[in-house]
Structure 1
């Protein structure tokens, strides 16, 4: 069980069916913040279709995952990140997370059947604390960008141990196992999950 699975309000029997990673997310520039939004989709909607649409309207999109509740209703969790000072400089807002929330709200206007059920907000230091709580010393990941810290939590949702992710970073998730290596620890994990690798 991963941190996000424990934190979000999943009924027993929910399953993860999709994941995505925006490898083109902007490089980190200074202190960054992140958000995660747990979205319940409409009954007849498809996670992959809604993911493609929603992420194309989110300039700060990093990664996410989706699936189905026991009753078959689809859900998705979308992660975004941005420089912490950009909202204050450009929008005059004291809460930098408001910019990420507003970006999602604008995209969600195109899908009235979807609702945001939960919102999570982090600073870089908050994500380091999450890793510590999960048994990974913060000092081993303090140089990671917010995007990579989020991808690590997504990798954990795919069944990877956070400690193994940190050891394999940045090049390979399975150094002692024969596999088609993607040359990136996160891509390795995601490709393995898609292929059904245990």
Structure 2
């Protein structure tokens, strides 16, 4: 079984366990106008809880798309914060940095300043310490590349692409997500309370209490 794109991109160890997802949506005028996606992976100290910290940070992000969090095999927790970068904040393709607030070479591309400032402010207001592990910035071209047929999803918004990649992280293959999207249902052959959207169905089932 292949590693989900987001887990591979952020180099999340395969033995780490996904423990929660968070969804928020900025104004459609932003996500439908092009733009890009920035993902920040942060480690948390022992006295912090991933679900609480993630929710607090999300409240202060004007371009926040939510995120997800998990737990390592040693019990430590981490959070990923997703932000939409408006078109004027672009200027990068696929960029990785293991020190997102560290010094860079002058010629190196970097995530947009607006999303950097927004995250720094949100962490400060939420009282979440900065323990960055990685920052990844993706433009639209990089976001569609993981899909089996990028042309099919070329007109999807940044938010749609991100949610599909997050649904893959929750267990549904990307080709199945694309195939079922026109139906507006993630499990057409199963009895379930349909959310009217493939990714919402996936998130609802993933978040449901296990028997």
Q: Is the 8 A contact 1:42 1:114 kept in 2?
A: no
The answer for the alignment partner of 2:122 in structure 1 is 107
Comparing 165-174 with 73-82, greater Cα deviation is found at 165-174
**Could you say what secondary structure the match of 2:122 adopts?**
helix
Cα distance, 1:113–1:95 mapped onto 2, change above 3 Å = closer
The residue number in structure 2 matching 1:39 is 42
8 Å contact kept, 1:29–1:83: no
CA distance in 2, matches of 1:82, 1:47: 24
How many residues align? The count is 187
Runs (5+) with no aligned partner, structure 1: 89-93
CA distance in structure 2 between the partners assigned to 1:122 and 1:13 by the alignment: 25
2:181 is the counterpart of 1:180:
no
Distance 1:119-1:80 versus aligned 2 partners, 3 A rule: same
Q: Distance in 1 between matches of 2:85 and 2:133?
A: 22
Give the distance between the partners of 1:96 and 1:73, measured in 2 at CA: 27
Structure 2 unaligned blocks of 5 or more: 92-108
TM-score by length of 2: 0.81
Preserved CA contact (<8 Å) 1:2 1:156: yes
CA distance, structure 1, for counterparts of residue 149 and residue 173 of structure 2:
14
1:59 equivalenced with 2:71 (yes/no): no
Aligned partners of 1:59 and 1:124: how far apart in 2? Answer: 20
Does the aligned pair in 2 maintain the 1:63–1:151 contact within 8 Å? no
Distance (Å, rounded) in 1 between the aligned partners of 2:67 and 2:128: 20
1:146 to partner: Cα distance? 0.5
1:95-146 deviations in Å (ceiling 9; x for gaps): 6622112211112224353412100101111111232xxxx10111011000
Report the Cα offset of residue 196 of structure 1: 5.9
SS, match of residue 174 in structure 1: coil
Counterpart of 1:126? 142
Q: Tell me how far apart the structure 2 counterparts of residues 112 and 152 of structure 1 sit (CA, whole Å).
A: 28
1:90-169 mapped onto 2 (5 Å cutoff): 97-110=112-125, 111=127, 113-131=129-147, 136-169=148-181
SS of the residue corresponding to residue 33 of structure 2 reads coil
What SS does the corresponding residue of 1:130 show, helix, strand or coil? coil
